[in-house]
Structure 1
Amino acid sequence: MGNMMRGVSAKNKVDTDNLDSSIKGDEDDMVVVLQDYPSPEISMPIYRMGDKLQIIAQEAYWLRVRSVQTGKENYIPNSHVAKVYHGWLFEGVERQKAEELLLLPGNRVGSFLVRESSRERGLYSLSVKHRMVKHYRIFRLDNSWYYISPRLTFQCLEDMINHYSDSADGLCCALTSPCLSGTTPPLDASPGAPPVVMRCNFDWKKVDRKQLVSSDSYSDNMVSYGVRNSIAAYMSFSGDQDSIQLRGDSRKRKSKSMYALPENDF
């Protein structure tokens, strides 16, 4: 296999003349917590390792942030967080910390992150969760192309991630999802949220045939109007006389039940 060059959309196109800034783009407002803050020895932590935070403002050595999970705002020292770009490029995360993040609950096999060296800008490593966390050094050619294996080079990190997401191609496994991408906000319990419907199961073998074709009040029947009508239609094909009566009665009762007011003592 030769050099890999994937088509890059105008939105994600990388300018190789200014590669580092192009990779990071304008997504410098997202960080991930590297250690609990404050320390559990001091008080109950406000933020836990692995929490994703959105930067609201930066004040000297502090960041005012908003939790992606809860939406709550607070302050955290910038030494306790790492900036994240594109969801998978972590700035200044060391090998050991990358392992701790990838081993957090919610990360599955194939979860990954690309970490930029804190010692020398432009040096990257790929960390992947498998049976254990595996690390791969990402090398950079003089022409600014990247590679893990010399037989396969990529114009940008995005192309590399895309390729190894399609196939392991020498890695321990194919890349599945960025580290901590399984962290999602809680379900919205607001009045506008769609209702949750609880269904009661029953055994069809225990259903009395008379309940399916009975013309009694629907309110006492365990089978809905739509299901009853479908059953009646099926039974009519087999020549069942009870079903013919059911369909006739159901049309009359449906027109009444659709517009009848409930009986109450107003």
Structure 2
Amino acid sequence: MGQHSSSAKASNESKFFVGLRMNAERRQEPEYDRVVAIYPFNAEEADCFSFLKGDMFYFLSSTDDGWWKVLHPDTRTKGFVPCSYFVMDDSSPEGGEAWYPYVTRNGADSRLLAVGLENGTYMLRHSSKPNSYALSVRCEGTLGPQDCEVKHYKIYRDHSGTLGITPTKRFTSIQELLDHYTSQADGLCCKLHSPCPREYNPPVDFGEFEISRSRIHLDKNIGKGSFGSVYRATLNKSVQVAVKVPIRPKYIDDFLKEARIMHQLYHERIVRLLGICTQPESQPVYIITELMGRGALHNFLRGKEGALMQLPQLIRILWQISQGMAYLESKAFIHGDLRAANILVSDEFQVKVADFGLARQLGATNLAKERFPVKWTAPEAGSSKKRFSTKSDVWSFGVLMWEVVTYGLVPYPSQFTT
């Protein structure tokens, strides 16, 4: 009995000292920044974490391809998570629901002027000035209730550490500032109403370009393109994506060419290619891209939501498209099929360039074997030599501008097309 009691006591002491040692080790670890998930994610790769909205991790480092290396708070294991699914968990703007880390001033205009948002919708973002943030707020425009605009306010921190928009009205935290301007305008264009909504999960780079067919579930046919059908689908049981499936076997090679081109391109105004599924060979090829929930721009402009857009919003659509096309040119790529049918609209009313049906790297300029839409095609590209270039893309962009400002009308309506 005495021996048993001594053994139990020794065991308890051993556990006590093990606990002390583990706590001491944790105290010796450096202070890590906490990050919190704002979207759920279901990981398939062994070195990545799955998580739910609200889960917390410790930030360790970042990679060049949009992933963060993090530490799990419970298991103390290290792994990777997509950075676009997280915000910082602290008292700074990065810790709040309204924080948009990669949105510029012009990007804030585009998001906040989206159809359906209320005046007072706002977002926080980086300012162009060091040691400061920006608050962007949607409010009534100068033309009355049917008009809207976005006002931008710089939030800066003074030498005492307080935050504010004006020198006389200071706050100890960003949340205190937001609470104040939610209760009263106090010099702003209007009272704050709610953060700009996040209506979709951001696209994620997956570890491998070839994605297993078992990870993809086709949900609904949402349209047809020049090469095949397009489906709304679920990837990894959590991520909503679009899947393009060829109609005729002879177009499989064209699909693969398009996939290889798109996989080299990464820009906020280019529809993101997430992966491709080619196995088994007896099954159709899948091209998996980010989902653009509102579909093609020409259909959107002809619908009820598009009809509500005013000229400044239409101009911003063209500006977004020009950003994507400028990026393509910087990468020495030709689109070759630029028109409103090949511009897609997201749930957040952002537009992106898609469907590189004729795209080729510069150098392969003779595309005589390809079909093309005459009404959008430059004369030199429509001639017998069919020479495409970035200049012919500029011509097509001019026709696209006409499509946008006429709310999706077909150009040259009295002329036939191929």
TM-score if structure 2 supplies the norm length? Answer: 0.26
Larger radius of gyration: 1
TM-score if structure 1 supplies the norm length? Answer: 0.39
